[in-house]
Amino acid sequence: MTDSSIQVLTQRLDRLERQSRLLRFGAIAMLAVMGAAVWISAATRSRTVEAERFVLRDAQGRARVEILTDPVFGPRLRLAQANGRVRMELALKGTTGPYICLRDTNGNDRAQLDAFSGNPGLTLYDSNSKSRVQIDLAENGAPAIRYYDQDHKRRAALEETDIGLNLTLRDAEERERVTIAALASGPYLRLHNVDGKVVWSAP
Give the tens place of pLDDT for each residue, 109-153.
Answer: 999 999 988 889 999 999 999 999 999 998 888 999 999 999 999
Say which residue, 41 or 74, is predicted with more confidence.
74
Q: Taking the complete model, does pTM exceed 0.85, yes or no? A: no
pLDDT score, position 200: 96
Measured CA angle at 31 (ends 30, 32), to 5 deg: 90
Is the preceding omega at residue 187 within 30 degrees of 0, hence cis? no
Give the other-Cβ count within 10 Å of 196's Cβ: 9
> Is pLDDT of 35 > 90?
no
Indicate the average pLDDT of the chain: 83
pLDDT score, position 144: 95
- pLDDT more than 70, % of the chain: 77
State the architecture of 49-130 in CATH terms.
Alpha-Beta Complex (3.90)
Contacts of 151 (CB under 8 A, 6+ apart): 172
> Is pLDDT of 43 > 50?
yes
Strand (E) or helix (H) holding 90: strand 86-93
pLDDT score, position 5: 47
C-alpha to C-alpha distance for 54 and 76, rounded to whole angstroms: 11
C-alpha to C-alpha distance for 48 and 60, rounded to whole angstroms: 28
> Is pLDDT of 179 > 90?
yes
Strand (E) or helix (H) holding 124: strand 121-125
The arithmetic mean of pLDDT across residues 95-102, rounded, is 88
Fold observed for domain 138-203? Outer Surface Protein A; domain 3 (3.90.930)
The alpha carbon of 66 is separated from its chain's Cα centroid by a whole number of angstroms, namely 10
> Is pLDDT of 38 > 50?
yes
